[in-house]
Structure 1
Amino acid sequence: MRPGTRNRREAPVAVIGGSGFIGSNLADSLLSDGVPVLVIDNLSRPGVEQNLEWLAHKHGSLLAVETIDVRDSVALAPVLRRSKAIFHLAAQTAVTTSLVQPAEDFDINLRGTFNVLEAVRRSGDPIPVIFASTNKVYGSLPDVAVRDEGDRCVPCDPAIRASGIDETRGLDFRTPYGCSKGAADQYVLDYAKSYGIPTAVLRMSCIYGPRQFGTEDQGWVAHFLLSALSGRPITIYGDGRQVRDILHVADAVAAYRAVLNRIETIKGEAFNLGGGPENALSLRMLLSEISLLTGRELSIRYEGQRAGDQPYFVADTTKIKTTLGWKAHVSWHEGVRDLTDWLQRHRLGPQPQAVRYVA
């Protein structure tokens, strides 16, 4: 340990993007167990101050906050050196935004991640870094043939239909967002190989749950619910038979914590994180469920499919299950009902539409 370095047991866990949806839930879980947390965030996304105020009110002095942008390497480095572990969740999270502003997407997602890794490398301490990646690293999966079955599409390949897409799938970055997150994913894994830093990557499917700011471009489960509850029309890009596996944020948080607990034995590994086949549903299936939950007939319009969209993506989570003993506990029916109740209490009304920084 370098002279002047704080005792790592007393140091906080840094959650970069900790006022965002997943970040605030992860920070709350750690803080609730008495773990000091340092939230690092630039607070650029409208409304995330509510999540930060909630954490501060609930946990008091156990929570520390630094308003820093991941693009600011000079400000970021000394703060990260004081941490005993780092969860890196900050990102530009929308494919659509990346197509309009690819330079900003690159700077936040790739250069920002590089800044985190370099801060750790230059510190001389093996501080764990766990990175929030995405299923978009697998591209649009043009070779995965699908057929329509009622209100959803299903893969023609029975193995994919049974288990989903696993981590042996070749990477195929599409759209600037896919490129920036995919390149960052690979940098994180390489810093374990090249520099011995204990890193790991979670390639997430669709995470949903309380404290989410759902928009048309990101957080679509919450966006559909908020639109339905507020009587706003919902736009579907494509025919709505696209299938995704959705995962409640409580299960996602458990996975992130399980990775940190085992980081020394799994460093340099990437894991798919999603609800798996048992929590897979099409957009049409979700809309039908929302109509039942809200007792409302939904106003739905259809437009053309968006660039890079996957007709079918379900994560094969066998690796994280067998390696870490993790599994999803919240069924999608239960989770969507839970989020509906939470949104009715906390988030009704016009929602911010810009998607910028906090994951």
Structure 2
Amino acid sequence: MSGPRKGARQAAAAPRHAVVVGAGGLMGRVLCERMRALGAEVVGATRDTPPLVRPDGAPAPALRGAGIVYHLATSVTPSLAETRPELVAADHEAFVALLDALALLEDPPLVVLTSTGLTVSESADGRPCTESAPARPRSAYARAKLALERELRARSPRVPGMVLRMTNVYGPGHRLRRGYGVVAHWLDAVVQGRPLDLYGDPDTTRDYLYVDDAVAALAAIGPEAAELPFDVINIGSGEATSLGRLLGVIRKVTDRELTVRLCPARGFDQPANLLDVERARRFLGWQARTPLAVGLERTWRALVGMEVAR
């Protein structure tokens, strides 16, 4: 691991040319808005925009002059990764093609890859995992993310890179995807008057991170970090929350009677996952600031407002 990242804390105020791959997702939309508010020139890439890599493997004009590329895009969820290996392969191939195209540039930008804390498996004895914890991915999803991390590391320093291992990001506008995003699925069930499906043990713990906090971590990284060694940084709230406690907070925030349907644990579920976030505090000057109850209330109000608008 590298030493402290000097200057990263001030980087968020500096205008720059940024490319956001996955601009249509939960974090991508908020990140584009935040970067533009900071004065940055932002290119948002989605499945509906022109490809960033030409058929001959050359970088598209949108990549030229970029100081930083945020790679947030994914086609798979933990559930889909188990059943659709072709989607995992397609994601991998697209990321490799992007890195290879960037390597052709005279001055490649910093690539910031969002990964998952599940790459380091469970938190031993309830203690949070540090970035140096052995990688022991127990699911196809975690293995796929770790493979992307390794592709980026292998190209460093030619293509400078940084990995942010995120915990469970939630917030307004989180689209429903099978087997992914318990907060989004539970709040949607409340709105629709359906039972909430609780998979596995209610004592299963996770770390839930509000989207604005996740994006603040991304925006805290400046292109000057390209001069530093490849690094991995955990991004999370630092607080373990059981599914049972999450259910209680949702009950309080929504102020509705909830019906809970207990379901068997899924193969990709883990009993506990908590990340140590001290490195993010020291190197990025970042920490999560949104309490769970506050983030859930904002998410709930936005969802109810959308339903009323319809």
Q: TM-score, normalised by structure 2?
A: 0.87
SS at match of 2:222: helix
Query: How well do the aligned residues superpose, as a CA RMSD in angstroms?
Result: 2.4
Q: Which whole-Å CA distance do the structure 2 matches of 1:317 and 1:132 have between them? A: 15
For the residues of structure 1 that align with 2:15 and 2:293, how far apart are their CA atoms?
40
Residue 73 (structure 2) pairs with residue 127 (structure 1): no
Instruction: Name the structure 1 match of 2:27.
Output: 22
| 1:341 to 1:267, Cα distance in 2 relative to 1, 3 A | farther
Q: 1:100 aligns with which of 71, 80, 83?
A: 83
Q: Name the counterpart of 1:57.
A: none
State whether structure 2 residue 299 is matched by structure 1 residue 335.
no
| Identical-pair percentage | 27
Residue 60 of structure 1 corresponds to which residue in structure 2? none
Please show how residues 341-356 of structure 1 align to structure 2 within 5 Å.
341-346=301-306
Summarize deviations over 1:245-294 as a string: whole Å, max 9, x none: 111111111111112355135440001111102xx211111111111222
> 1:76 and 1:235, CA in 2 relative to 1: closer, same or farther beyond 3 A?
farther
2:155 corresponds, among 191, 195, 208, to 191
C-alpha distance in 1 between matches for 2:118 and 2:209? 16
Q: Structure 2: how far apart are the matches of 1:15 and 1:307?
A: 32
Partner residue, 2:98: 116
> In structure 2, what is the equivalent of residue 289 of structure 1?
249
| Alignment match, 2:144 | 180
Q: Please list every run of 5 or more consecutive structure 2 residues that lacks an aligned counterpart in the other structure.
A: 1-13
Point out 4+ residue stretches in structure 1 off by more than 3 angstroms. 9-12, 67-70, 72-76, 264-267, 347-350
- Seen in structure 2, the aligned counterparts of structure 1 residues 285 and 76 have a Cα distance that, compared at 3 Å, is farther
Residue aligning to 1:53: none
User: Counterpart in 2 of 1:238?
Assistant: 200
Q: How does 1:313-328 map to 2 (within 5 A)?
A: 313-328=273-288
- TM-superposed CA distance for 1:346, in Å, is 2.2
Query: 1-side partners of 2:222 and 2:266: how far apart?
Result: 35
Q: Give yes or no for the alignment of 1:39 onto 2:44.
A: yes
Note the residue ranges of structure 1 that are not aligned, 5 or more in a row: 1-8, 44-65, 146-154, 351-359
User: How many positions carry a matched residue from both structures?
Assistant: 296
Q: 1-side partners of 2:297 and 2:101: how far apart?
A: 41
- Compared with structure 1, are the counterparts of its residues 208 and 236 closer, same or farther at alpha carbon in structure 2 (3 Å cutoff)? same
8 Å CA contact 2:111, 2:161 repeated in 1: yes
After superposition, the Cα gap between the structure-2 partners of 1:215 and 1:33, relative to the gap in structure 1 and judged at 3 Å, is same
Query: 2:253 touches 2:293 (CA, 8 Å); kept in 1?
Result: no
Q: CA deviation at 1:26?
A: 0.3
Shift of 1:216: 4.6
Is contact 2:21-2:45 (8 Å) kept?
yes
Q: 1:347 & 1:186 partners in 2: Cα distance?
A: 42
The AA in structure 2 aligned to 1:227 is A
What SS does the aligned partner of 1:202 have?
strand
Alpha-carbon distance in 2 for matches of 1:76, 1:30: 26
Whole-Å separation in 2 of the counterparts to 1:76 and 1:303: 48
Compute the TM-score of the two structures, normalised by the length of structure 1. Answer: 0.76
8 Å contact from structure 2 (residues 112, 162) kept in 1: yes
Per the TM alignment, residue 349 of structure 1 is displaced from its structure 2 partner at its CA by 10
